[in-house]
Amino acid sequence: MARALDKIRNIGVIAHIDAGKTTVTEKMLYMSGAKHRAGEVDSGTTETDDDPEEQERGITIYAACVTFKWKDYIVNLLDTPGHVDFTAEVERCLRVLDGAVVVFSGREGVEAQSETVWRQADKYEVPRIVFINKLDREGADFYRVLEDIGPRLNANPVPIQIPVGQGPGHTPDPFRGVIDLIDMQMLRFTAEDGGKQMLREAIPDELMDDALSWRAEMLEGLYGLSNDLMELALEEKPIPSDLIRRVLREGCLKRAIQPVVCGSALHNVGVQPILDAVGDYLPCPLDRPPVQGIDPKKPDTVLTRAPSADEPFCGLVFKILPAKTGDLYWIRVYSGKLDSNSRVYNPNRDKKENVAQLWQIHATKKERQGQVESLECGDIACAIGPRASITGDTLCDTRDVIQLPSIQFAQTVISMAIEPENTAERKKLAEVLEMLKRQDPTFNANENAESAQTLISGMGELHLDVIKHRLTRDFNLNVKFYKPRVNYRETIGQAVDVVGQCNRQIGATQMYARLNIRFEPLEDASAGIIVLDRCFGEDALADNLKTAALEELRSRSQGGGMIGSFPLTGMRITLLSGETREVGSDEVAFRIAANDAFDQGLEQGKPTLLEPVMKLDITTPDDYVGEIVGDLQQRRAIIEATESRGALTGITAFAPLKELFGYSSAIRSLSQGRAGCSMEPHGFQPAPQADVESFSFG
């Protein structure tokens, strides 16, 4: 039986590492009755961190999906990682979700990865609610965090709750509940019945003035969204709670506001109101605009699919998990219906795929007794059977074809060489690496035929460390690992105009081609290679000759540079004009001329080695600021800003990745384990001359 789409919520929980995402997810499962006992992150017993690597490290590495019911709603929830090395998991989840719960620590507030996931949610236009967590911690400050969210994230948070007290039990005014500003009640959460009881009480007299002041603040943020609300306020009439909730929902769906709730998930305080807010304010599939795609045979033709079971089937593969019984393809269904034992079309690969089985997902596995016969629009589940599809591919009806936008992931920034002990291990290693590449779009592996080593690349030290453990522990591979190395890039340092020529005798034919091409460095060194055609008018070439030259330039731009054969980036190549003769000017000649011009452009344009730069966001007690800043300066870092964050100081800096190997251990040592740091790729900058000299020109 088809489910009511307005009762489905496809949401994600996103945040900086250690803000409490997994604990929030675990307590949602517990409060909804999907679990009879809540697990703990520190003991490795949570439902969504079911991988041994996650349980050992106490962090989320892989996005996990759980489905549960809350009141009349069916919630498909994706718990995502908070560490920047695994930001691709957040990217692909937000690509398919309708709404998100953004968790902030009441102590640390808005952190670096908070900004990253917020930008990712902006990119996919995902409506959000905010949960300020850990208000029972020493140094927690709900109001400071609330104040930071607006300017740092370009957001418009509207508090619909305020805390009663803040901090642990030994403080003068410990955190002990929240005030609901919509119904003007105090919510108290008791330890009885495993913490599931939420008591609604009258607001104590000593807290009423504060509550009224913040209710006025809440309404002030909503007046611009509703004429009805404004009229009642001007007439000084009571404002119904239902009207406030309706305006909050409308504003949240338009992403004009973000409703804010608060609590302490670890101690079961404030979890039920999060679930209520998910149902009240976050969108159902019907609230989201129809997805847009193209006709792969007519790329200029825009097609849409509305969230309806009556539309042709259309879905997106957003995650693949290898399994012995068949890879699990996680699919978000946007329209129509997908049946088991059916065939679908993948326009990205131009192949038809079999869908043998469909399963509900539980964490990162097929749910026990969760096999289903069909999926409908709004569903998130997994399919077994496809073979050619990869992450970001569209699956659609074989008769009504549509290709949705794929998912773009960041480039890898760090590499490590691995070498199998013997020939038997080499074949097994190749198979395992191919499987890991299917699972993780930000992981790459290439074998060097000369050195017999394989180079694996990822998003950071932790990312590669997890891969190392999986290869040795999960797959029992006997391989050697070598020191990580930086993924340099190459570009040119100055603009140059060159003439590429082909003037050679091949057999009885005198081949001839001449091309005028300009090579220019781009201001953004991470912008890749742009190849432009400005060969018009009197200088125009025949289409086949121009196409051959442009194809050769694009092909060469995918190769290496002249310093260390590192990938090229940050360069614009413009075809200006060409010259032909009646005999001998064919496509081969123009490919040779384009190659000649490319070599000259790199050589004359002052080859430049680029090193990746990371953005660091450091949070530390004031006592250690001096030591940390001094250490950063020794690592060639540029300090952009230092700011007070309550009892802590935040430091924003930019430093070369080469200087940051082992930095997480170093900062713990400098601060006696009290400082924290997160990094994310920022771009590229010219490398020191010593690094350039360490590579020979090719």
Chain segment 513-551, per-residue pLDDT in tens: 999 999 999 988 878 899 999 988 776 888 899 999 999
Three-class secondary structure of residue 368 per DSSP:
strand
Count of C-beta atoms within a 10 Å radius of residue 298 = 9
At 450, is the pLDDT very low, low, confident or very high (cuts 50, 70, 90)?
very low
Overall fold of domain 291-396: Elongation Factor Tu (Ef-tu); domain 3 (2.40.30)
Q: What are the domain boundaries of the chain?
A: 5-287, 291-396, 414-487, 490-605, 612-693
What CATH number labels 490-605?
Answer: 3.30.230.10
Q: Could you say which architecture CATH assigns to the domain 612-693?
A: 2-Layer Sandwich (3.30)
Query: How many Å apart are CA 358 and CA 374, to the nearest integer?
Result: 7
What are 594-637's pLDDT values in tens digits?
999 999 999 999 999 999 998 988 888 888 999 999 999 999 99
Q: Which pLDDT value is given to residue 553?
A: 95
Task: Please give the residue that has the higher pLDDT: either 121 or 647.
Answer: 121
Exposure of 60 in the CB half-sphere (CA atoms within 13 A): 34
pLDDT in tens, 210-231: 999 999 999 999 999 999 999 9
Q: What is the pTM of this model?
A: 0.75
As a whole number of angstroms, the distance between CA 38 and CA 371 comes to: 25
Instruction: Supply the pLDDT for residue 698.
Output: 42
Strand partners of residue 342: 355
Write phi, then psi, for 76 (nearest 5 degrees). -100, 110
Q: Which residues contact 159 (CB under 8 A, 6 or more apart)?
A: 146, 181, 214, 217, 218, 260, 262
The count of other CB atoms within 10 Å of the CB of residue 678 is: 24
pLDDT tens digits, residue range 248-302? 999 999 999 999 999 999 999 999 999 999 999 999 999 999 999 999 988 889 9
Same fold? 291-396, 490-605: no
Mean pLDDT of the chain: 88
Q: Using CA atoms, how far apart are residues 530 and 569, in angstroms rounded to an integer?
A: 9
CATH architecture of residue range(s) 414-487: 2-Layer Sandwich (3.30)
DSSP letters spanning 641-690: EEEEETTEEEEEEEEEGGGGTTHHHHHHHHTTT--EEEEEEEEEEEPPHH
**Which residue from 85, 74, 67 is spatially nearest to 458, judged by alpha carbons?**
85
Superfamily grouping for domain 5-287: P-loop containing nucleotide triphosphate hydrolases (3.40.50.300)
Quote the CA–CA distance of 189 and 266 in Å, as a whole number: 12
The identity of residue 132, as a single letter, is: I
